[in-house]
Amino acid sequence: MPIRILVVDDEVDVEALMRQKFRRQIRDGAYEFFFAHDGEEALEKLREHPDVDVLITDINMPRMDGLTLLQKIKEQNIQLNAVVVSAYGDMANIRTAMNRGAFDFLMKPIDFADFEITLAKTWDQISKSKRATRDQAELSAIVHELKVASIIQKAILPSEYDAFPGRHDFDIRARNYPVKEVSGDFYDYFLIGQSRLGFLICDVSGKGVPSALYMAVCRTLIRTCAEPGTPASSTLEAVNRKLCEEDYASMFATMLYGILDTATGEVEFCCAGHELPYLLNASSGVRSIPMPRNLALGIEPDVTFHSVTITVHPGETLFLYTDGATEAQNAAEEFYLSSRLEEELAKRVGLGAEALLDGINEAIGAFVGNAPQSDDLTMLALHFRGAPASKQTPPMTVAHFSGVTPLPVTIPPAAAPTTKPTLFRRLGSDLAELEGLFVDVTEFLQQHHVPDGTVNAVQLVTEEWLVNVMSHGLEGVETPWVEYELSLGSGRIMLIVRDSGPPFDPTLHEPCDIPLDSDDRLPGGLGIELMLKMMDEVRYQRAEHVNALVMARKLS
């Protein structure tokens, strides 16, 4: 695209001289010249050719001089770069021209080598200015689109206020505070028939538009799969398979999904790597609900999800949240943490759902102060009022590992009959616990006629990784635990190991060239290499302060 140049000079031979000096550039399409003999004619040319890039004008001309022309261009907001031409001793006029917007100046008689240098510099400035204008326009369009997307996103979520005005047996409210225009967090609640309420909270990996789009997909899938009579665990398994089939750029989502029986108060919870919920009771205070965390959605298609069932009594409130609450930071880069959240929840036991959410948001805001919001924050509160003469099943007490008062829950056996054989064990950090696990693993593999080569690989990987995690990964952890899940399905065996230790991704391990019998080899180094080599697939995920290592090997 040529540089369009308007030359304004009352000397009649200027046009012929310019065309002669720059005939090659004109022929090659680098320059395109227009000519005028005074300021008035120049304004006419600019109206005819609004795409002129550079104005080169003399100062002293009849009818309208160059200084007046510059003033008119400024008043009419004509976007171009102007270069003035004047005699050496006319510096006062040159200064006036620069004050009126001229970009540069040339001296008479014109040195054409200097002319080309000045033109090149002027064009560079024009190009930068055009890019900046274009970028600003694109940015404005993106900002507008994000605002529209934010409105749409809020519109597809249930009302933050009373979404079921005709129901008096429960009250459910939610709040979503995105760190950007759109959020990767989301919540949802919907009736499944007349006596069951589905509700969930979800945190998509990343932030911004990609997370928001993934959020929309997750919401659509959960509503599609949440059919009457379908358990929460089966619903999440179906959603997970769909997400893995599409492979959305390696994104994943943590989710907590519950189904409330509004007649009995029974709630089935299924957790996909998400923060565990709290139950608020006016007499007993704040209690965390223990349950299997399972794997996040969108990571591995062939996963069995385990759920728990609890009974919520009239007057009790369930509180769900994303890690934007516990990981909110103040100016000193201190985290809010679950301990502060539990304290604030305890102060608000007995409040309604809306007052509870507003109070917790105010408490987090007071802690954060003027520090910028670091992550999306979403909270959901479900207050159960209860139906008349509801019957409640006596619960069964289980051990709890989060550090707050345990809640009576009913948990099905981890290895309950499923569509695929599964072995599940929960361990601490004592290596002595491994002896019983190794026996169980061997019996499980032999019972299902797993080939000897795969048996040996699983046994070796199990020993190497668990010893590594217990000996090094859980050192200094306040509440150390490891979950071991081994399952068969789709012609392969899959092993998932979760632990409460600090982040460590073994898939980033550099190959070791130190001899196997060398004293310089680091502890665990051989085990990591063996895992990567003996398993067909090894994937790592860190979500909600939990490490999860997923390993798979074909049975053939």
Which numeric CATH code is attached to 3-132? 3.40.50.2300
Q: What percent of the chain has pLDDT over 90?
A: 34
Residue 124 has pLDDT above 60, yes or no: yes
Confidence of residue 29 (pLDDT cuts 50, 70, 90): confident
Q: List all residues 6 or more positions away from 318 whose beta carbon is below 8 Å from its beta carbon.
A: 258, 267, 277, 278, 279, 280, 312, 381, 382, 384
- For the segment 359-375, the average pLDDT, to the nearest whole number, is 92
| Predicted TM-score of the model (pTM) | 0.56
For residue 519, the model assigns a pLDDT of 46
CA separation (Å) from 434 to 62, 494, 495?
100, 19, 16
First to last CA, the chain: 63
Measure the CA–CA gap between 206 and 255, rounded to whole angstroms.
15
Measure the CA–CA gap between 283 and 381, rounded to whole angstroms.
18
Lookup: tokens for 133:
């204008």
Q: Are 303 and 240 in contact (CB under 8 A)?
A: yes
Domain extents for the chain? 3-132, 168-384, 422-554
Give backbone dihedrals phi and psi of 170, rounded to 5 degrees, phi first. Answer: -155, 160
For residue 294, the model assigns a pLDDT of 92
Residue 140 has pLDDT above 80, yes or no: no
Question: What is the helix (H) or strand (E) element at residue 458, kind and residue range?
Answer: helix 452-468
Residue 441 has pLDDT above 80, yes or no: yes
CA angle 550-552-556, nearest 5°? 175
Q: List all residues 6 or more positions away from 227 whose beta carbon is below 8 Å from its beta carbon.
A: 192, 235
- For the segment 13-24, the average pLDDT, to the nearest whole number, is 86
pLDDT, tens digit (0-9, with 9 covering 90-100), for 270-288: 999 999 999 999 899 999 9
The CATH number of domain 422-554, selected from 3.40.50.1950, 3.40.50.300, 3.30.565.10, 2.60.40.1730: 3.30.565.10
Burial class (CB in 10 A: 0-12, 13-18, 19+), 348: buried
Residue 520 has pLDDT above 90, yes or no: no
- For the segment 325-334, the average pLDDT, to the nearest whole number, is 92
Measure the CA–CA gap between 199 and 257, rounded to whole angstroms.
6
Which numeric CATH code is attached to 168-384? 3.60.40.10
Q: Are 551 and 531 in contact (CB under 8 A)?
A: yes
Q: Are 153 and 211 in contact (CB under 8 A)?
A: no
- Of 93, 97, 460, give the one whose Cα is nearest residue 452: 460
For residue 509, the model assigns a pLDDT of 58
* Average pLDDT over the chain, rounded to an integer: 81
Residue 390 has pLDDT above 60, yes or no: no
Give the β-pairing of 54-58 and 81-86.
Answer: parallel
- For the segment 432-449, the average pLDDT, to the nearest whole number, is 92
